[in-house]
Structures are given as C-alpha cells and as structure tokens.
Amino acid sequence: MAGAPTESFQKTLDDPRLQLAIYSATGRLVNHRAGSIRGDLLPEYQDLRTRAHEIKRHTIEHLDQYLEQFERNVVAHGGKVVFCRDAQEVADFVLGLAKERQAHLIVKSKSMTTEEIDFNERLEHHKLEAVETDLGEYILQLAHQRPYHIVAPALHMTRYDVADVFTKKLGVEKEVEPENQAKIARSVLREKFLRADIGVTGANFLVADSGAVVVVENEGNARLTSSAPRIHIAIAGIEKMIPRAQDLAVYLSLLGRSATGQPLSVYTSFLSGPKRQGDMDGPEEFYVILLDNGRTKLLVDPEKRESLFCIRCGACLNHCPVYRKIGGHNYPWIYSGPIGAIITPQFHGVTKHPWLPFASSLCGACAEVCPVKIDIPKVLLKLRAEVTEAKAREGQSGMERFAFRAFAWMMTHPKIYLPFASIGKKFLPVLPRIGPLAKWTSQRELPKAASQSFHNWWASNRGEGKQA
Amino acid sequence: MTSREQILTSIRTALGRTEGQAATPLPPPMLRVPLMDPKALVETFVQNFEKLAGKSIVVGAASDVVPALVQIVQGKRVVASNAPYLETCGVRAMPGIQTGFTDPSAWREACVSADVGITRVDYALAQTGTFVMLASAQEARLASLLPLIHVAVIPRSRIVANLDTLFGILPAPAEQTSSMVFITGPSRTADIEQILVRGVHGPGEVYAVIVEQD
C-alpha cells in the first residue's frame, strides 16, 4: 500500500480511547441493525434488498429520463430545479440568490453532498454564514473538523471534547452531560432557525413521479431547516433519484434499519414545492440543486456504476474490519469505509490515492449488509486492476523506470550481459546478505545457481558453435 | 450548452442512450399490505409508540378527548392547529388555548413561545408507531415541531398497518400537500458518545390520544 498514510493509521491504532470509541459505536450500530432485521420481525428483508437493488439499477440506467420527469414535477408544484456541474456552480447559484433576496443567514441540515463541495467554506468567503444544525455536525463545525462517520459524524469525540468546544466557541460554562449539551445546542440553534433566511438540506431520495425531495433524520433539524426559513434549497447528487413515491415503502424500510436499527427514523419529510395556498407556514420558495460533480463519470462501467446506488446508511462502515481499526479520518475524503474506498477513486481518479482500493481484506461483510446490494468487493477488485494498469502505464517511479530501461538494454546486448552473468553467479549467494534485502533474506534459503548457464548449455549442446 | 444540457448529455453518452429513448418497463411497486383488524391496529400502534417513549391514551369518544388533555396542558402555553376534528373534539374551545390563527406571523410567534402543540394526524402507522401529517391550511407544520410537547389526536379509523398500506392509499402525496411528514417518536439524537437524548430540536415528549369511536 505504497503512499498510504501509515503514520496516521498508527496514531489511530495507538490511541486506546479512540479505538474504544470506534469499536463501541460501530458495534452498537451493528447490534441495532441485526436486532431490527431479524427473520421473525422482517421476513422479507432479503426481498426488500433485491428489490431496492433492481429499482436503483433501473433508475440509474435511465437517469436522464427520470431527471427530466423530476424536473417537470418540481416545476408543476411551483419549485425550481438547478443543474450544477460542480461546487463552483452551486456556490454561484446560492450566493446569487442570497444577494438577490438580501439573505444573510443560512441554516443547514446534515448533507454529505454539501460536505463534498466545501459548501460552508465557499459561502464564508463571501460573508454568508451557513450554520450546521445537526448536533454532531454543529459540534464539528465549531471544532473545524470533518465528519468521522456517515451517520454518526462526531463518533470520535467524547463529551469532554464537546464541553471544551462549547466553552471555547460559545462562551458557556463547562457542561459535560450530553443531555444538557443538547439543550445548549437547541437554544443557540433555535434562534438561528428563526432568524435564517435560507434553509439548505440534502436529500435522501428524489422522487421522480412527485417532484419531491425526501429527507430522513432523527433530530428535527432538517424539518426545521425546510419549514422555518422563507427559502428552502435542497442540494442532491443526481443519483438520489427513485421513480415513484410508492418505492419509498422499500427504501424507508431498509434505510433506518441499516443505519441505526430503527424501523423508521424519527422524521421523514416528503417535500414537494413551496407552501401551497392557505398554508400558514412553510417556505415561499423551493429550489432543488441537482449536482453532478463527477457522478456522470461513474455511469460508464455497468459494474462500477453500482457505486451510485448507495443510500448512505453507513452499515458497510460499521461492519468493516478496516474502518473499525483506522476510523474515518484516515480515509482521504469525506466518504469513509468501504463505500468511500470505491467512491473516492472514481471521483478523484485511481492514481490520486492508489493505496485506497487495497486497504481492504475483501472479507465481503460490506456487500453482505448493503441494503441495496452493492457488490463492493467486486468494485474494489476492478479498481485495484485499474490502479495496477495505471501504474504500468505511467511507470511507478523514476528509479523503477531506470531499472527497467537498464535491464532492457542489458538483455539486448548479450556481449555485455554474458560475462556479467558468469561473475554474478559467484556473488549470488553473498549479495542478498548485505544491503537493503539483508533482513528479509536472513530468514530465507536461496536456491543455488546452476553450475552452467542456459546460454552456455545451448551453445555447447545445440548451438552452431561456441559464442563466447 | 447549459449545465443542464451538459449533464444530461454526459449521462446519455455514458449509458449509450438517446434523448427521449423509452425506458424498459419497471416492475410494479412492492407493497406489503398486512390484514389487521381495527382492534389489532390500535394495540399494535400503542405497543410500538410506547417502545419509542411515546405516551398513549385511548379514549372512547370525541367528547372524552378534552378530559384526557386537561392534565397534559395544565399550566402550560398551548397552541392547537385549525383542524376541524379538533373543533369536533372540543379541543379548540378549551380555556387558554391559542388556535384559529389566520395570520402566518402571529401563528409562528405563538408556536415559538408555546410549550404544547396539539394537532390531528392524517394517518398513523401501527407497525412503527408513526404519525403521518400532511401540511394544509388546517394543519400547519410548526405546531408539531417547535413546542417541546406534541399531542396528536388520532381518530381510530386513521390507523393503518404500515408504510406500504399508506402508500397504497396515498400513491401520490404531492397532489395533496407540499409537505408530508412521518413522525416516529420524540426528536432524538445519539451524536455525543451514542448516549440517547430526546428533544434535541423537535418535541422531546409526544402523546397520542386515540379516539375509538371517531
């Protein structure tokens, strides 16, 4: 795994508190999931997975059509759809709208897609404040950290860490009880919700036949984000599409159980357009930003495009023996664990973090628990092959390129090679015992070199005469 | 070319599709609708709702709702939605209750300072202990969201088995509302050390008042 941040891995492995936090949090999520999909409680669990996979495959394979249908339906309900190719286009749109509407404060609910495009930082540069409102994300925003886990973003922090962050950033008295810490966040953020002009949410699903955005959460912050401010903007990757509202019966049955073991998460909001005539609350304006940001690249290969089926439940992280040791921050991007290991190389190119697809034991636990049956190990193998091919194309390093060139030159010049070969034979038993290979060869027996080289044998037995 | 066209074009190129090319047929939706009698629906709802730390009260008739609420709302600031069913139950005529709002900003102010929000629900899902609420002129969003206590009045006929049954009854929710929400228990988080805390942004206490003869 050349190029892997092994020092950073080691630091995580040597931190007993962090190891315990990762192990117990993921372990708890593993148990909760297992308890919620038991055969007596959900006998059709495997059928649901199969169906979830089929619907996603169908949708992704006809994505252009469903995006257009979705757009028509959002517009029909009075909303607007904005297609964005990258982070810059998202920022430009939001900044433009904020300026036009004289908006100064944005409240945000948890969204991996906005993490992906450094949304908050981009707005901050233009003096537009965007406040995270999910408790874990809020803590991380105050601490200037990125999420450690897709569903449990502050998994690596203790209540004492949180107390320090709150004291330092909010100027409150030291408070170490999670219940009271949540109260502090509630009161600070409640004021923000009521003052905000724009609410930005992600989307767990986009429903083509309804023009609806579906947001799943437990705290109520996403519901507040989409209900209290006068403008609601949902930012979603184009792959979040499903064809019909009725398909939610399948996906919602799987998402909460796979993520946290809840048959349904506390709040599922199905949002289709701005408030309607007579409604006393709800947003006056409704926008859906459909983001590409590299996703269309993932569509080309029929096997690798499965990576886009992901519904971000985090189950593959919780079950992964690698994630459970190295945690979330050792992955190069915001998507960690097995899903991160297949998504990141496809977004950033396989040569950027060539070690990543190799950071897996291929035990297959991820594929077994994936609610949409993404064959993660298979995609990892494909990516490994691509890394190897890319390396072969580029040459791994200058040193290696030099070595291979020298070897090729030597082999095509037998007059030089042959005398060296007969000298080399004498040194062969000694050479590996010194130098960089010494440690490795000290424990191993070397085969003895033949008394006569093949070249000599050929020349004396089959050749047309002596050559050297 | 606009970003929209560029994105759609790269999708079509990657998938080898042409514009307007018909889709292969999609299998019909998978809806698992169990048969449950009304008594089982109430029992199952109560059982699952209480597992989530919800408190349920089953009353006989609409006229029994107000007596059941007295204790919950005593000494508190209370808002109620404009749902006609709450009128039928006499909830909107309870002393001290703020209801009948027509001005959005007054409504919002009332919800901000209220301790309790009383609403009806459009449906309830027995197998998950879930409230289903469709925002409308009668049923605004904030009453079940801003106050720390949410009381939902549920006519028994509105309890259905599960999500699948609901999507069978409501195949196209967007035709009826701009916001449908499923509420399954009190607002909660486990973001700090996986310790469960209720009432982080939404209500920390939820009550279901089920009316047998609605």
Domains contained in chain B, CATH given: 33-213 (3.40.50.10420)
Cβ B6 vs Cβ A84: under 8 Å: no
B201 and A47 in contact by Cβ < 8 A? no
Please give the residue of chain A at the shortest CA–CA distance from B170. Answer: A246
Q: Which of A293, A308, A339 lies at the terminal end of a domain, its last residue?
A: A293
Please give the residue of chain B at the shortest CA–CA distance from A138. Answer: B191
Please give the residue of chain A at the shortest CA–CA distance from B103. Answer: A280
Write out chain A residues lying below 8 Å of B130, CB-based.
264
B141 and A252 in contact by Cβ < 8 A? no
Cβ A309 vs Cβ B214: under 8 Å: no
Assign B164 to helix, strand or coil.
Answer: helix
Residues A57 and A193 in one domain: yes
Distance CA B166, CA B125 (A): 8
pLDDT at B206: 98
pLDDT in tens, chain B (214 residues): 899 999 999 999 999 999 988 878 898 999 999 999 999 999 999 999 999 999 999 999 999 999 999 999 999 999 999 999 999 999 999 999 999 999 999 999 999 999 999 999 999 999 999 999 999 999 999 999 999 999 999 999 999 999 999 999 999 999 999 999 999 999 999 999 999 999 999 999 999 999 999 7
Instruction: List pLDDT tens digits, range A343-361.
Output: 999 999 999 999 999 999 9
Assign A80 to helix, strand or coil.
Answer: strand
Q: Which of A293, A328, A350 lies at the terminal end of a domain, its last residue?
A: A293
Distance CA A338, CA A324 (A): 11
- pLDDT exceeds 80 at position A396: no
Q: Which helix (H) or strand (E) holds B134?
A: strand B130-134
B184 and A265 in contact by Cβ < 8 A? yes
Does the residue A39 lie in any domain?
A: no
**Containing structural domain, residue A437:** 398-461
Instruction: List pLDDT tens digits, range A65-81.
Output: 999 999 999 999 999 99
Distance CA B77, CA B55 (A): 20
Please give the residue of chain A at the shortest CA–CA distance from B8. Answer: A64
Does the residue A31 lie in any domain?
A: no
Write out chain A residues lying below 8 Å of B172, CB-based.
209-210, 245
pLDDT at A468: 46
Report how far apart, in Å, the C-alpha atoms of A215 and of each of A50, A51, A207, B54 are: 23, 21, 11, 22
The b-or-e profile of A327-341 (16+ CB within 10 A means b, else e) is: bbbbbbbbbbbbbbb
Q: Which helix (H) or strand (E) holds B15?
A: helix B3-15
Distance CA A386, CA A393 (A): 10
Q: What share of chain B is helix, strand, coil (3-state, %, to 5)?
A: 35, 25, 40
Does the residue A115 lie in any domain?
A: yes
Residues A120 and A268 in one domain: yes
pLDDT at B79: 98
Write out chain B residues lying below 8 Å of A68, CB-based.
8
- pLDDT category at A402 given cuts 50, 70, 90 is confident
Does the residue A97 lie in any domain?
A: yes
What residues pair up with A206 in beta bridges, in sequence order?
A213, A241
Write out chain B residues lying below 8 Å of A178, CB-based.
192-193, 195, 197
Report how far apart, in Å, the C-alpha atoms of A198 and of each of A94, A226, A228, A266, B145 are: 10, 9, 9, 23, 18
A214 to chain B, closest Cα gap in Å: 9
CATH of the domain at A141: 3.40.50.10420
Report, as an integer, the average pLDDT of A7-20: 96
Kindly provide the residue ranges of all beta strands, DSSP E only, lying in A66-211, ordered along the sequence: 80-84, 105-108, 129-132, 198-201, 205-207
Report, as an integer, the average pLDDT of A83-112: 96
- pLDDT exceeds 60 at position A12: yes
Q: Which of A54, A181, A292 sits opposite B27 (nearest CB)?
A: A54
Amino acid identity of residue A461, one-letter, is: N
Residue with tokens 């790269």: B10
Assign A332 to helix, strand or coil.
Answer: coil
Q: Which of B11, B130, B200 sits opposite A219 (nearest CB)?
A: B200
Phi, psi of A350 (to 5 degrees): -65, -20
A227 and B141 in contact by Cβ < 8 A? yes
Does the residue A375 lie in any domain?
A: no
A8 to chain B, closest Cα gap in Å: 23
Q: Which of A266, A293, A320 lies at the terminal end of a domain, its last residue?
A: A293
Q: Which of B26, B140, B182 sits opposite A264 (nearest CB)?
A: B182
- Chain B segment 144-163 residues within 8 A of A by beta carbon are 145, 163
Does the residue A402 lie in any domain?
A: yes
Dihedral of alpha carbons A154, A159, A160, A163, sign = positive
Cβ A369 vs Cβ A359: under 8 Å: no
Please give the residue of chain A at the shortest CA–CA distance from B133. Answer: A269
- pLDDT exceeds 90 at position A448: no
Residues A404 and A285 in one domain: no
Write out chain B residues lying below 8 Å of A53, CB-based.
none
Residues A289 and A156 in one domain: yes
Number of domains in chain A: 2
Does the residue A165 lie in any domain?
A: yes
Residue with tokens 């020092």: A7
Does the residue A2 lie in any domain?
A: no
A68 and B107 in contact by Cβ < 8 A? no
Instruction: List pLDDT tens digits, range A101-149.
Output: 999 999 999 999 999 999 999 999 998 999 999 999 999 999 999 999 9
Instruction: List pLDDT tens digits, range A249-285.
Output: 999 999 999 999 999 999 999 999 999 999 999 999 9
Please give the residue of chain B at the shortest CA–CA distance from A21. Answer: B193
A296 and B12 in contact by Cβ < 8 A? no
What's this model's pTM, rounded to 2 decimal places?
A: 0.89
Q: How many CB atoms lie within 10 A of CB A41?
A: 12
Q: Which helix (H) or strand (E) holds B10?
A: helix B3-15
Distance CA A104, CA A126 (A): 10
pLDDT at A424: 72
Percent of chain A residues topping a pLDDT of 70: 96
Lowest mean pLDDT among A47-56, A438-447, B35-44, B75-84: A438-447
Distance CA A394, CA B170 (A): 57
